[in-house]
Structure 1
């Protein structure tokens, strides 16, 4: 059977269809310069119409790039990281870059080993989604490839880091409960060696202090940032028989576990106990009842990480700013009677 298929489209064909120069098409594909939106849209439309597939190997050889970005997460199964990765994936669309995702499992040595693995595969940059490595270790890796780090504030030519204000978020959550008339406010904390958890504990304490409410260590129970840990922490708090009317959970997953425990005990939320989480995961709008929580712009964080990385790769000035946290009031909190 004869092959009557048309030859594959070339970069010149795309340029002619879009009404731009081949150099403009190349810049858009490589992300090496800013291009007007109308030109970018025309080029992307031409690429789709012509089913154009750039020769990635040739581009890599020409520019000394593999067009891959390493992404280090801590728990691939976590809905927290899943939402950030959604933003990363959408941020990479149309850039010509692909991601290589590995997990550090909240272990500094494993994080470093995974980064060395990514470097051996010649990725063009590394995005760290939180982690436990020291600043010095990360800056050492940044000497080899650009690094974007969520969870720490960094500003160098080779590395940029941005962090959410965990203490402010916790303060907003506890202040909301105080304004609803609660004074016996429990806290389901995260691990003591987790930076985010400790900052949120500090925000909890600050809100109590500002309201002249004594801090009671008996009202703090430690979990592991996961649903099962939230259930067990709530169990310990309940068994301690120290009275409380509200609970601030270190994250939404912990709040989910706490909610299940309260349900099993016949304790109504929010009629008997108010509950606040932290993260605003997609599922928090659909819990029963919908969860009051602190919103982290997780999807935007993923997109910002990609934009910052492409800027570092191209030697541009990078700001890497993200929206602030905010309180989202739903149906798990009510005025204390």
Structure 2
């Protein structure tokens, strides 16, 4: 295995100069850094990260902790962050929690044990106190969800506005029997979306028959089950507003399976704008969320913090607005 001493002998400089050049130390000239890198590439040198960590040097790894990589939200986030970080020679490593706080804690322990440069996470509903303690020792930022115990640095979406606009849309079309299918209030995103639904109904100032089906936000099966229950009600809703990507996938799949005519029998507003939504049935009216833009902004801000050794104590928050994309799955209520 080629060592730093071997490279030092080739270039006739000290091993410390080689180490500093490979680490990007500002005390080393750009010319020397280039020579060292070329020699390292030609010799097949591979950095000993374990030795670096023993010296207390942080790695170039950034951990991303998400609930469910099957959710297009999180795969889009991972792709955008990876591209952003690699441009600054940081590498993204992915962890999945399934919204289990003990698994979340395990990932945080593993990441901090290898001196990651930082952690970007979509937190669970009730993070473990030990997770909060460990994160205080590591640069980190929350994404989409915000838990006060994990700090005040956060990039998110205006979840309340997203569902408020979706609900107001069907109310303005004349619907007065409206159902909402989405996550429970255990998560801050879930509570904000429920509140957006209720606020839109309160704002219209007329009597509205509303139904709320609340369950696991990452479950397509819950979306299917909720649709079946709604259609079995003595008085069916005439409009359906959905509050999560996975619930939307399950709900529209079940509507298609049951042969429900959209929008003549039921108007539907989804959540997220998957590629196939524009081709589903009559084209799905849905809430588009700027996930890629949000992740890129988060990544750039986080890079700035890492490169400038900024402290995590200063609160920082960024909220991105959603867009309502109106297609043909929403229309006036049945006569």
Per the shorter chain, which TM-score range? 0.7 to 0.9
State the TM-score, normalized to the length of structure 2: 0.76
Aligned to 1:104: 97
Q: Which of the numbers 185, 188, 195 marks the counterpart of 2:181?
A: 188
Classify the secondary structure of the residue corresponding to 1:189.
strand
Q: Which of the numbers 43, 50, 73 marks the counterpart of 1:80?
A: 73
In 2, the alpha carbon distance for the partners of 1:311 and 1:245 equals 49
After superposition, the C-alpha distances for 1:114-158 in whole angstroms (9 at most, x for unaligned) are 1011111221111102422449666523321101101117799x8
After superposition, the C-alpha distances for 1:270-297 in whole angstroms (9 at most, x for unaligned) are 2221101122234433423322111211
In 1, the alpha carbon distance for the partners of 2:294 and 2:114 equals 25
Q: Which of the numbers 137, 140, 163 marks the counterpart of 1:144?
A: 137
In 2, the alpha carbon distance for the partners of 1:135 and 1:282 equals 36
Contact 2:139 2:306 in 1 (8 A): yes
Q: Unaligned regions of 5+ residues in structure 1, if any? A: 1-7, 13-25, 33-46
TM-superposed deviation, 1:248: 0.2
Q: Which of the numbers 314, 329, 334 marks the counterpart of 1:332?
A: 329
Which shifted more, 83-92 or 207-216?
Answer: 207-216
After superposition, the C-alpha distances for 1:196-222 in whole angstroms (9 at most, x for unaligned) are 2222111111111111244646x2223
After superposition, the C-alpha distances for 1:310-333 in whole angstroms (9 at most, x for unaligned) are 222222489563531121112211
Calculate the aligned-residue CA RMSD, in Å: 3.7
The change in CA–CA distance for 1:279 and 1:249 in structure 2 (over 3 A counts) is same
1:249-288 alignment, distance < 5 Å:
249-288=242-281
Aligned to 1:3: none
The change in CA–CA distance for 1:282 and 1:56 in structure 2 (over 3 A counts) is farther
The change in CA–CA distance for 1:154 and 1:193 in structure 2 (over 3 A counts) is closer
Contact 2:176 2:209 in 1 (8 A): no
In 2, the alpha carbon distance for the partners of 1:320 and 1:202 equals 20
The change in CA–CA distance for 1:93 and 1:284 in structure 2 (over 3 A counts) is farther
Q: Which of the numbers 79, 82, 89 marks the counterpart of 1:89?
A: 82
The change in CA–CA distance for 1:91 and 1:286 in structure 2 (over 3 A counts) is farther
Contact 1:76 1:103 in 2 (8 A): yes
The change in CA–CA distance for 1:306 and 1:133 in structure 2 (over 3 A counts) is farther
In 2, the alpha carbon distance for the partners of 1:239 and 1:292 equals 24
In 2, the alpha carbon distance for the partners of 1:134 and 1:116 equals 13
TM-superposed deviation, 1:84: 1.2
The change in CA–CA distance for 1:216 and 1:182 in structure 2 (over 3 A counts) is closer
Contact 2:60 2:89 in 1 (8 A): yes
Classify the secondary structure of the residue corresponding to 2:271.
coil
Aligned to 1:37: none
Q: Which of the numbers 201, 205, 226 marks the counterpart of 2:194?
A: 201
Number of residue pairs aligned between Structure 1 and Structure 2 = 301
Contact 1:31 1:310 in 2 (8 A): no
In 2, the alpha carbon distance for the partners of 1:30 and 1:235 equals 59
In 2, the alpha carbon distance for the partners of 1:235 and 1:190 equals 17
1:312-323 alignment, distance < 5 Å:
312-314=305-307, 315-316=309-310, 321-323=318-320
